[in-house]
Structure 1
Amino acid sequence: MTTHDDEALLATGEIELIGLIESSSNSALLAQVSTEGASSMAIYKPEEGERPLRDFPPRIYRRERAAYVLSDALGWDIVPPTVLRDDAPFGPGSVQKFVPHDPTQHYFTLYDSHPETHEQLLRVAVFDVVANNTDRKGGHVLLDPDGHVWGIDQGLCFSAPFKLRTVIWEFAGEEIPPELVKDLEPMLDDLPSELEDLLFPVEQLAIQMRITELLEAGRLPFDETGGYRIPWPPL
């Protein structure tokens, strides 16, 4: 099944709730999404379960979709297929394909013990700068059985002020690979049109400003705060 097949399934399938993911700060529910011909495990994040935040507007579930739209447009396959559903059991929310993974593996173990993932991890680091990810914890980086690295929990992204908080600092100062530069350059002229419905105009402009700064620097930034741009808890 291709990524866009997964997206179609998530958008149209019947949602059967399985249970609450206890570790989630906002309500995240494990579900199975099924049609007559296919099914997939998924994570459903309803607006009803969101906690009010001082620095993000309501409906952060829409930013999960925005992160997928950006990742898909770049061709990076970082964010699992994610759709918006108004007809879900607890009302409007995001539905994201569940990534099978070993829960003992996370960013820190991958970086230390799986050097073959470093190229993918660097790509996640670039994506997080572009998306202004404010909550890249180690446990939000998953390795699937095929060796592909995914990033989940992107609700706290796309703020216009620079708020990057991430555990991925091992690549600070490294050059951005030419192939990633080539993928980013078209975004300076045209962002995916769907982002107009998901983000504020100033947030869309900020994406392009961050890309401009990244391409001008040619390398990933350092943590200029001296170690404070790390989410809590880090895992």
Structure 2
Amino acid sequence: MPATDLATAELTLTGRITTASNATFLGSIGDATVIYKPVAGEAPLWDFPGGTLARREVAAYLISQALGWNVVPRTWLRDGPMGEGMVQLWQEQDRTQRAVDLVRTDHLPETGWKGVFEGRHENGQMVTLVHEDSPALRRMAVFDLVVNNADRKGDHILAMADGHRYGVDHGLTFHRDHKLRTVLWGWLGGALTTEERDGIDRVSNGLRGELGRGLMDLLSAEEVASLTERCAQLRADGRFPAPSGEMPAVPWPLF
């Protein structure tokens, strides 16, 4: 469906996702299945300004596009049955794949996975949080660093049948203060690849032009300035950073 139709054609609600912390609906625009999150349904937060989560999700999509990695499904703002909100194209993930998992510590996969931390399950067994060691997931981890994602849960990663990995639920992003909370810590201290550095450079360059102007309609000037500083610091360090600050390094729950 053309972009103009997605922005203006009737949005029909077909269901509600009741596990979400904010009002989240499944809907359709013509033949396209979408997720709709109205601003009116956003729960108040102590650390993020009210009524801004939908715009942060759209800003995350713009960064994904600037990076060139298609991390975030197509996302835009428009009116809907409950007023203005974020709309995102639905992605049907492969339920047989799992990019992040909890496994028994004595049964860790030998190759292709990164361990994050271990702990004791409620049944008494020792378990380890792991995620796959793949270029697609590395790119998502870099994306999270750039947008300062405070809520990268395991279930916010959609494993597609062709190996692509989409990230969703980016309302808690772009805070001007350090807020990074993620399950993707497996590359801690590792050097960024040339591809990853080039992606960050594309964002930095875009912030001086059209990307920067677009983000000013979605974020505060202070948040855009912090984004610019994060990109510069990432390029200067050239590595995946370690957790820092007083906030927990991982979101809760993990999934």
Do the two structures share a fold, i.e. TM-score over 0.5? Answer: yes
Aligned pair in 2 of structure 1 residues 167, 227: CA closer, same or farther (>3 Å)? Answer: farther
More strand by share: 2
> Which residue, out of 11, 20, 23, partners 1:24?
20
> Which residue, out of 77, 88, 112, partners 1:84?
77
> Which residue, out of 169, 172, 175, partners 1:159?
175
Distance 2:46 2:100 in 1: 29
Alignment of 1:10-159 (within 5 A): 10-34=6-30, 39-59=31-51, 60-86=53-79, 88-103=80-95, 105-109=97-101, 118-159=134-175
Q: Is the 8 A contact 1:6 1:81 kept in 2?
A: no
Distance 2:102 2:63 in 1: 24
Bigger Rg over Cα: 2
Cα distance, 1:7 vs structure 2: 4.8
Q: Is the 8 A contact 2:178 2:245 kept in 1?
A: no
> Which residue, out of 192, 196, 201, partners 1:185?
201
Aligned match of 2:243:
223
Q: Is the 8 A contact 1:29 1:45 kept in 2?
A: yes
| Deviation larger for 54-63 or 196-205 | 54-63
Structure 1 residue identity aligned to 2:188: A
| Deviation larger for 108-117 or 212-221 | 108-117
Cα distance, 1:186 vs structure 2: 3.8
Cα distance, 1:184 vs structure 2: 1.5
Secondary structure class of the residue paired with 1:194: helix
Q: Is the 8 A contact 1:100 1:145 kept in 2?
A: no
Secondary structure class of the residue paired with 2:174: coil
Cα distance, 1:147 vs structure 2: 2.1
| Deviation larger for 222-231 or 125-134 | 222-231
More helix by share: 1
Secondary structure class of the residue paired with 2:11: strand
Q: Is the 8 A contact 1:10 1:95 kept in 2?
A: no
Gaps of 5+ in 1: none
Q: Is the 8 A contact 2:75 2:88 kept in 1?
A: yes
Aligned match of 2:119:
none
Cα distance, 1:13 vs structure 2: 3.0
Cα distance, 1:143 vs structure 2: 1.3
> Which residue, out of 230, 234, 249, partners 1:210?
230
Cα distance, 1:14 vs structure 2: 2.0
Aligned pair in 2 of structure 1 residues 33, 44: CA closer, same or farther (>3 Å)? Answer: same
Secondary structure class of the residue paired with 2:223: helix
Q: TM-score, normalised by structure 2?
A: 0.82
Structure 2 residue identity aligned to 1:22: T
Q: Is the 8 A contact 1:10 1:97 kept in 2?
A: no
Number of residue-to-residue matches in the alignment = 226
| Deviation larger for 181-190 or 206-215 | 181-190
RMSD: 2.4
